[in-house]
């Protein structure tokens, strides 16, 4: 019999958590978790997951979450390898939890997640390259091409130079500490 992760309604998941019958494991990266998470969730970034089993109390199920549930769903097999008992996905992730009217802890002073910063900077650079290419000189289109090439490499290899640079920015140093 093949095991799989089943989605749990946020209100049902909250009931299990409140009764101590489950533990919530947030698989997002530390910068994402720092900005917004469900109180009591354990931060276990997917990037650091190993095949070692999560230690949970006897009789407790594991509920995995991310921001929307998509990252969790995409990694079901990998996540299942870390639990011996029953495991679930929080339907809709942290966003679904909040949409159900359940409380989340937010730190608005924490910097935006690195990948959102990359999206903003990349978008602005592409727009600037196009605008400058149209208004100043066609050579500026190269800026858009350079950013596009960088994003393609990041997608293909998992290495994002822009994310590395942004992580060193002064506003992100607090999150890394």
Q: Looking at the annotation, which residues are catalytic?
A: 66
Integer angstrom CA distances of residue 62 from 42, 83, 94, 174: 11, 8, 15, 30
Strands of the sheet containing 87-90, edge to edge, are 6-8, 87-90, 61-65, 22-26, 42-43
Cα 37 → chain centroid: 11
Integer angstrom CA distances of residue 145 from 7, 35, 177: 41, 32, 34
Q: Give the number of other CB atoms < 10 A from CB of residue 44.
A: 17
What 8-state DSSP symbol labels residue 90?
Answer: E
Map tokens 């079901």 to a residue: 76
Q: Quote the tokens at residue 122.
A: 């990349």
Q: Which residues of 74-83 are buried (b: 16+ CB within 10 A; e: fewer)?
A: ebbeebbebb
Q: Looking at the DSSP assignment, which residues form a beta bridge with residue 22?
A: 61
């Amino acid at each position: 019999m093949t095991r799989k992760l089943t989605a749990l309604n946020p209100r049902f998941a909250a009931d299990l958590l409140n009764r101590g019958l489950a533990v919530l494991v947030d698989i997002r990266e530390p910068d994402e978790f720092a900005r917004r998470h469900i109180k009591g969730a354990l931060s276990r970034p997917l990037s650091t997951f190993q095949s070692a089993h999560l230690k949970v109390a006897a009789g407790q199920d594991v509920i995995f979450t991310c921001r929307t549930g998509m990252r969790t769903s995409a990694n079901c097999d990998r996540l299942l390898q870390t639990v011996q008992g029953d495991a679930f996905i929080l339907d809709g992730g942290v966003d679904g939890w909040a949409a159900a009217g359940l409380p989340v802890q937010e730190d608005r002073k924490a910097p935006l997640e690195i990948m959102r910063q990359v999206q903003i900077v990349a978008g602005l650079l592409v727009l600037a390259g196009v605008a400058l290419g149209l208004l100043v000189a066609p050579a500026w289109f190269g800026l858009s091409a350079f950013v596009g090439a960088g994003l393609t490499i990041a997608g293909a290899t998992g290495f994002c130079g822009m994310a590395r640079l942004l992580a060193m920015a002064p506003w992100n140093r607090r999150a890394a500490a």
